Structure 1
Amino acid sequence: MEGAGEKRREQSVLKLILELGPLLIFFLVNARADNWDLKRFGLFQHVAEKDVGIMAATGAFMTATILALTISLILYRRVPVMPLVSGVIVVAFGGLTLYLQDDLFIKLKPTIVNLMFAAALLGGLFLLKRPLLGIVFDGVLQLDEEGWRKLSLRWGLFFLFLAALNEVVWRSFSTDTWVTFKVFGTMPITILFTLCQLPLIQRHALPQN
């Protein structure tokens, strides 16, 4: 049993690294790009000086995201739905950012992803009359129907909040501030929200066989 617990902890740490790694690379490249004289490379010769950092960070973010998804597929033979959807949009909007040399697209990516998740969860509740969160996390959590409905509603509203918050930050502050918030602001907020759901999960948890 102790060996199995240790293995689960190692897998949890690895999954966390695969999820956070691309974001940390995004932040580090954006923060350090000015010191690397990237304008000497053909890819950045026609990029405005002020945009070199975010363009380099976007390319690194796309590469790291693809690598993380590939490693997940190799190790676990599957990629979870949420990281997969987010990864596809990173590549799509990151590609538009680099092709058009306009950081608007990479800044819109969190808004689009969060709106998609919110639409799926809230649409499932009010249109399909099904708590879709139960389908995604059924192998991790065992809750009664009411628990899944409440949790789906809360997460749906939380994703709407994250989408609105991203819009406020990128429209109101500098690109560097937005990158810092994306990496070091969104994750703590999400962790705090997740912890706040533990009482609900405990109330509606099904007995373990």
Structure 2
Amino acid sequence: MKILIDFFPILLFFGSYKLYDIYVGTGVLMAATVLQMALIYVIDRKLTVMHKITLALVLVFGALTLGLHDDRFIKWKPTVLYAAMAIGLALAVWVWKKNFLKLMLGSQMELPDSVWMRLNVVWVAYSAFMSLINAYVAAYYSTEAWVNFKLWGYAFPLIFIVGQGFYISRYLKVDEPKAPNQP
């Protein structure tokens, strides 16, 4: 269910773009993202900082796209989001000596500090890569090519998350099974 909620806005954006145009797609994306965040809030009773930033960027860049009738704004939104993530994670760990990944996920899984540090560095590199590749496609390709890239480009995060899962799995502690007569 959660994965469906995560992909809901991009799938609706893609469908409405293909049926109509980038401006209808942008309006649908904005509405779908608001609905997505409302659903996440109902389920989790909170929105993470990343959720709030994503919502704000979709609404601001979407409004600029619609208000100025210029598709460049919505095409550059992912570049800004990923660049902000890369810069934020890098500043946090190397300037403020805080590992935001550990702060956000440390209560859900226990990993050695060195693994948290490597994960943070990998997230900085991944976010910078995604920012740069989106910027390249947005700047040098048509809107049609960019929309197709956005849809099929979801392979990058899926591969990244699966690879990250394999990496951290060897560091996760496994609960020992209890003997049948133990409480």
Could you tell me which runs of 5 or more consecutive residues in structure 2 were left unpaired when the two chains were aligned. Answer: 177-183
User: How big is the shift at 1:208?
Assistant: 5.1
- What corresponds to 1:102 in structure 2? 70
8 A contact 1:19–1:83 mirrored in 2? no
Q: How does 1:32-181 map to 2 (within 5 A)?
A: 32-33=19-20, 53-181=21-149
Aligned-partner Cα distance in 2 for 1:79–1:95: 22
User: How big is the shift at 1:130?
Assistant: 2.1
- What corresponds to 2:18 in structure 1? 31
- What corresponds to 2:163 in structure 1? 196
User: How big is the shift at 1:207?
Assistant: 6.1
Runs in 1 of length 4+ with deviation above 6 angstroms? none
Q: What RMSD over aligned residues (CA atoms) do the two structures have, in Å?
A: 1.6
8 A contact 1:121–1:156 mirrored in 2? yes
User: How big is the shift at 1:199?
Assistant: 4.0
**TM-score, normalised relative to structure 2:** 0.89
User: 1:153 and 1:95, CA in 2 relative to 1: closer, same or farther beyond 3 A?
Assistant: same
**TM-score, normalised relative to structure 1:** 0.79
Could you tell me which runs of 5 or more consecutive residues in structure 1 were left unpaired when the two chains were aligned. Answer: 1-13, 34-52
Amino acid at match of 1:55: Y
Quote the sequence identity (%): 30
Aligned-partner Cα distance in 2 for 1:100–1:188: 31
User: What SS class does the counterpart of residue 204 from structure 1 fall into?
Assistant: coil
Larger CA deviation: 64-73 vs 140-149: 140-149
User: How big is the shift at 1:189?
Assistant: 0.8
